[in-house]
């Protein structure tokens, strides 16, 4: 998201403010433009449609952090150290309850909207691809499909633990849960990569 022009960033920030303050239905092209202090055509110019803007809002909660942690992780040697860094980055995402609450306000609308569903699905595909690259999987290799399944579980664990943490901040110990998750991922990937 940091690579977006400043006007586009203002639009995403305005949409997020409206979402938090007034709920999903408050996010209209006109309201977002007014909140950002720009012409309404700016929404269509930068995002193509309201659906494109909503997809950017969904992506804004984790995109830059995920991309940065992926870059940092890929610089580490493959194996235990890389998996540890990857899981720790995921833990930080899961702890951001405010962003996940925003995402959960949007999710029911995404699931019901034929234009939004594939856009957000592509975002998840992008996140899975980041994981696979961190696992050192390349398309076309015999284990690629298995690495994609691992990546899908990584996404599911972050989402699930983030929801639990948002619901019960004092009762969910992310350190312990992500420690256990790291052990499980490391063992599974070691077994998979050594067998290939």
Q: What is the pLDDT of residue 66?
A: 74
**Mean pLDDT, range 46-63, rounded to an integer:** 86
The phi, psi pair for 138, rounded to 5°, reads -120, 145
Read off the pLDDT of residues 77-112 as tens digits, 9 standing for 90 and up: 878 888 998 899 899 888 888 888 888 889 999 999
61-195 is a CATH 1.20.1330 domain: no
Task: Give ranges for CATH 1.10.357 in the chain.
Answer: 61-195
For 56-68, what is each residue's pLDDT tens digit?
888 877 766 777 7
Q: Where in the chain is the domain with CATH 1.10.10.60?
A: 6-57
Pick the CATH number of 6-57 from 2.40.10.10, 3.40.50.720, 1.10.10.60, 2.40.280.10: 1.10.10.60
Average pLDDT over residues 11-19: 93
């Amino acid at each position: 998201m940091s690579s977006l022009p400043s006007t586009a960033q203002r639009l995403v920030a305005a949409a997020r403010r409206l979402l938090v303050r007034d709920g999903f239905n408050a996010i209209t092209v006109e309201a977002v433009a007014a909140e950002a202090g720009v012409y309404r055509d700016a929404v269509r110019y930068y995002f193509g449609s309201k659906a494109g803007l909503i997809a950017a809002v969904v992506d804004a909660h984790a995109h830059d952090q995920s991309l940065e942690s992926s870059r940092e992780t890929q610089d580490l040697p493959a194996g235990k150290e890389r998996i540890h860094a990857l899981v720790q980055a995921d833990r930080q995402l899961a702890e951001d309850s405010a962003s996940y609450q925003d995402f959960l306000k949007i999710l029911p609308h995404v699931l019901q909207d034929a234009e939004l569903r594939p856009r957000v699905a592509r975002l998840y595909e992008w996140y899975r691809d980041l994981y696979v690259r961190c696992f050192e999987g390349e398309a076309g290799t015999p284990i690629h499909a298995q690495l994609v399944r691992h990546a899908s579980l990584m996404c599911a664990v972050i989402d699930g633990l983030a929801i639990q943490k948002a619901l019960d901040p004092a009762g969910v110990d992310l350190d312990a849960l992500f420690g256990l998750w790291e052990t499980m991922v490391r063992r599974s990937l070691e077994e998979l990569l050594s067998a290939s």
